[in-house]
């Protein structure tokens, strides 16, 4: 792709996973890429995320990051659902929990950033305030910091609560469906004797889990999921996030009191509503959506894998058409609609992780005690992640 996009100016909003992945490929094609990230630095909260199947691995290889990721991969174990006394109810195998390559989200962001940082411009602590399409002249963008710029294309890779989507297509309520649950995760000292096999404990409508950090067993990660109406708490509002988690899990047994004690000192949380994004189109004029901003399903959509595949296709189509945004975005839409759309039809991950009733919990546990069901879960997720016709962009 070398040189195909020479002089082509792209603004990417969001330095999560899809944004830096796109920056890697755009840089390969010679584009002038700017990535603007609202957080003051790369965000470090969150846990292990995974890639599975030949499509994901091929794209990581083309991005030039597969070996770096293998060097930092985690070897998390199975996911074990236990009762209040710690006795196993059922266990999902490590291949389901960790796919083919599993890494910490923060390591993935760092590797993608490192691969692109000397060839793309990263701006932290800023965000797009207004976008004005000027036809063939490009897109004029005003930033919150007061600066401005003109670009040939703008890509919203700014997550489920995308600002680019709101500015280009309309308010979040039109595109983001709350799926009835919230998620919160944080790091804490491993004083609960957690193992690398993650242990999950349920009461109706609530799930608390803990797993040791496989590189530093003195640390652990807690993850909680609970049934809840929309809360409207922003990603920076740490005190409100902690208060809600304490309220939802206060009074529960098992390791929960210690997990909540660890929450008090957590410097940041991965906190969000479990939601699904569906947009009628992935692009408008010179603006395109990518990753969770375009097709996100919290915890349920192979978010990192689909995000890097989308980045690979979007950069590939822009290079193939030498920056003809109309043709490139149409081809990107056509390819990604069917691939990313596979994850859009599933039920809320919350229903699986924290069924709301006793009967629902019993049904889930009974089903996943069957080896055939567990095998099906592993094989179907890998099959869904594998696209038969991913082009081999040069
Ligand atoms: C902090 C964090 C932790 C996560 N942890 C997990 C996890 O443990 N397990 C899991 O399965 N998934 C996790 N996810 C979701 C997962 O990363 C995504 O599903 C997937 O990587 C798709 O990536 P993305 O780049 O499209 O979106 P994201 O990874 O959500 O990245 C979006 C980026 O855009 C930035 N952003 C948001 N608004 C603006 C704005 N207005 N201007 C500029 N930048 C903006 C965000 O700060 C973020 O860096 C996490 C997401 C985040 C943000």
Residues 6+ apart with CB under 8 A from 143: 36, 126, 127, 128, 129, 149
Distance 385 CA to ligand 1 centre (A): 19
**Rounded mean pLDDT of the chain?**
93
Give me the long-range contacts of 370-378 (CB less than 8 A, separation at least 24): 374/90, 374/92, 374/93, 374/96, 377/92, 377/96, 378/93, 378/95, 378/96
Distance 17 CA to ligand 1 centre (A): 7
Q: What is the 3-state secondary structure (H, E, C) of the chain?
A: CCCCCCCCEEEEECCCCHHHHHHHHHHHCCCEEEEEECCCCCCCCCCEEEECHHHHHHHHHHHCCHHHHHHCCCCCCCEEEECCCCCEEEEECHHHHHCCEEEEHHHHHHHHHHHHCCCCEEEECCCEEEEEECHHHCEEEEECCCCEEEECEEEECCCCCCHHHHHHHCCHHHCEEEEEEEEEEEEEECCCCCCCCEEEEEECCEEEEEEECCCCCCEEEEEEEEECCCCCCCCCCHHHHHHHHHHHHCCCCCCHHHHHHHHHHCCCCEEEEEEEECCCCCEECCEEECCHHHHCECCCCCHHHHHHHHHHHHHHHHHHCCCCHHHHHHHHHHHHHHHHHCCCCCCCHHHHHCCCCHHHHHHHHHHHCCHHHHHHHHHHHHHHHCCCCCCCCC
Q: pLDDT digits over 311-360, tens only?
A: 999 999 999 999 999 999 999 999 999 888 877 777 778 999 999 999 99
In a domain, 87, yes or no: no
The pLDDT of residue 378 is above 80:
no
The three-point CA angle 105-74-366 to 5° equals: 90
CA dihedral of 37, 39, 44, 49, whole degrees rounded to 10: -40
Atom of ligand 1 nearest to the CA of 307: 22
Atom of ligand 1 nearest to the CA of 47: 8
Mean pLDDT of the 293-308 span: 89
pTM over 0.75: yes
Go through 321-351 and write b for each residue having 16 or more CB atoms within 10 A of its CB, e for each that does not.
bebebeebbbbbbebbeebbebbeeeebbbb
Nearest-angstrom CA–CA distance, 313 and 41: 27
Nearest-angstrom CA–CA distance, 340 and 381: 13
What integer pLDDT is reported at residue 97 of this predicted model?
73
Nearest-angstrom CA–CA distance, 7 and 107: 31
Residues 6+ apart with CB under 8 A from 10: 26, 31, 32, 33, 34, 151, 152, 153, 154, 155, 318
What integer pLDDT is reported at residue 181 of this predicted model?
96
Binding-site residues, ligand 1, Cβ < 6 A = 13-19, 36-39, 43, 45-47, 49, 105, 127, 157-159, 163, 185, 270, 291-293, 296, 299, 303-304, 307
In a domain, 223, yes or no: no
Atom of ligand 1 nearest to the CA of 290: 26
Q: pLDDT digits over 227-246, tens only?
A: 999 998 988 899 999 999 99
In a domain, 139, yes or no: yes
189 pLDDT band, cuts 50/70/90, is very high
Atom of ligand 1 nearest to the CA of 15: 49
Half-sphere exposure of 331 (CA within 13 A, CB side): 19
In a domain, 358, yes or no: no
What integer pLDDT is reported at residue 132 of this predicted model?
95
Distance 371 CA to ligand 1 centre (A): 34
In a domain, 247, yes or no: no
What integer pLDDT is reported at residue 384 of this predicted model?
75
Atom of ligand 1 nearest to the CA of 19: 25
The pLDDT of residue 123 is above 90:
yes
Atom of ligand 1 nearest to the CA of 303: 19
Among protein residues, the one with the nearest Cα to ligand 1's atom 37 is 158
CA dihedral of 259, 260, 263, 264, whole degrees rounded to 10: -140
Copy the structure tokens of residue 42: 């790369």
Q: What is the tally of structural domains in the chain?
A: 1
Probe target for ligand 1 pocket from 12, 13, 16, 223, with the most ligand atoms within 8 Å of CB: 16
Nearest-angstrom CA–CA distance, 182 and 274: 5
In a domain, 1, yes or no: no
Domain boundaries, position 30 = 9-74+102-176+275-347
CATH number where 171 lies: 3.50.50.60
In a domain, 366, yes or no: no
What integer pLDDT is reported at residue 394 of this predicted model?
79
Among protein residues, the one with the nearest Cα to ligand 1's atom 50 is 46
The pLDDT of residue 385 is above 70:
yes
1 pLDDT band, cuts 50/70/90, is low
């Amino acid at each position: 792709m070398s040189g195909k996009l020479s002089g082509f100016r792209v603004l990417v909003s969001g330095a999560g996973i899809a944004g830096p992945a796109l920056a890697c490929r755009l840089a390969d094609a010679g584009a002038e890429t700017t990535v603007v990230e609202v957080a003051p630095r790369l965000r470090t909260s969150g846990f292990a995320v995974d890639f599975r199947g030949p499509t994901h691995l091929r794209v990581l290889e083309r991005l030039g990051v597969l070996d770096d990721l293998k060097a930092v991969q985690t070897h998390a174990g199975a996911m074990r659902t236990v009762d209040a006394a710690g006795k196993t109810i059922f266990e999902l195998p490590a291949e389901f929990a960790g796919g083919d390559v599993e890494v910490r989200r923060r390591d993935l962001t760092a590797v993608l950033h490192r691969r692109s940082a000397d060839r793309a411009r990263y701006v932290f602590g800023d965000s797009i305030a207004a976008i004005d399409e000027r036809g063939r002249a490009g897109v004029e963008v005003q930033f919150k910091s007061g600066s401005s710029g003109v670009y040939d294309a703008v890509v919203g890779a700014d997550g489920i609560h995308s600002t680019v989507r709101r500015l280009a297509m309309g308010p979040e309520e039109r595109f983001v469906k709350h799926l009835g649950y919230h998620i919160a995760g944080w790091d804490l000292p491993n004083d609960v004797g957690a193992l690398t096999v993650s242990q999950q404990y349920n009461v109706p409508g609530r799930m608390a889990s803990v797993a040791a950090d496989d590189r530093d067993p003195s640390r652990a990660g807690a993850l909680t999921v609970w049934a809840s109406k929309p809360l409207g708490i922003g990603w920076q509002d740490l005190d409100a996030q902690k208060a809600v988690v304490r309220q939802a899990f206060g009074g529960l047994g098992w390791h929960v009191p210690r997990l909540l004690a660890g929450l008090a000192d957590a410097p940041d949380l991965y906190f969000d509503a479990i939601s699904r994004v569906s947009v009628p189109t992935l692009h408008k004029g010179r603006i395109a959506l990518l990753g969770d901003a375009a097709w996100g399903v919290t915890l349920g959509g192979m978010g990192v894998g689909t995000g890097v595949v989308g980045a690979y296709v979007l950069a590939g189509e822009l290079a193939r058409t030498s920056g003809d945004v109309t043709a490139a975005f149409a081809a990107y839409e056509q390819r990604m609609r069917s691939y990313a759309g596979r994850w859009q039809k599933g039920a809320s991950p919350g229903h699986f992780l924290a069924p709301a009733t006793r009967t629902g919990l019993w049904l889930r546990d009974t089903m996943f005690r069957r080896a055939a069901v567990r095998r099906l879960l592993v094989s179907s997720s890998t099959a869904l992640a594998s696209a038969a016709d991913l082009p081999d962009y040069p």
